[in-house]
Amino acid sequence: MAEPFRYNRTMIALHWLTAALIATAWIGAQVIDFFPRDLRMPVRSTHILLGLILAATLLVRVAVRLTSPPVPPANAGLFERIAQLGHILLYILMAAVVLIGMGYAFVRGETLYGLVSLAAYAPADRSWRHLVGEWHELAANAILIVAGGHAAAALFHHYVLRDGLLRRMMPAA
């Protein structure tokens, strides 16, 4: 049986899956241009696929979060409020990255592994494609910054406050 102050196994798995998807997709986006031209399409396709998996994971996370009993806050007051705002911001940024990324795939007219082609929306408008790409990149980088703060706060709780907060989201041994 789960401890009352721990997240359930599903939320723990979704949390770490989300972190892995975001990190892998971000790293993949950073290295796409290092690949030879003939290999960029499969790398871009993998990036898009990771984004679609992130979208599905985000929907499941929201559903589980809305239907699971809430975990009591670890701390009251300012820490609790900052944590709530940080979580809300992470969810908003994840949704923004996914939605803008989907838009970017349509603006570019991507082909997924040569199997599925998306019709390009305004293919001649390079400024539109550039703008959507910049917004996608900005939102992705913002996720890393906020998630970095989230991780730093968890480590602060674990090593400085020693309040057991980090154990709430760690997989059970």
pLDDT digit string (tens) for 77-120? 888 899 899 999 999 999 999 999 999 999 999 989 999 998 88
What is the pTM for the complete model shown?
A: 0.89
Q: What is the DSSP letter of 169?
A: G
User: Does residue 24 have a pLDDT over 80?
Assistant: yes
> What is the rounded distance in angstroms from the CA atom of residue 114 to the CA atom of residue 72?
48
Tokens describing residue 39: 């290999």
DSSP 28-52: HHHHGGGS-HHHHHHHHHHHHHHHH
Q: What is the pLDDT of residues 127-173, one digit of tens each?
A: 999 999 999 999 999 999 999 999 999 999 889 988 888 888 888 76
Q: Which two tokens stand for residue 153?
A: 């706060």
Tokens 């049986």 -> residue: 1
Residue with tokens 């900052």: 82
58 pLDDT more than 70:
yes
Coil/strand/helix, residue 165 = coil
Distance CA 153, CA 106 (A): 37
CA distance 119 to 110: 8
Domain 9-169 has CATH 1.20.120: no
Nearest to 25, CA basis, from 119, 104, 82:
104
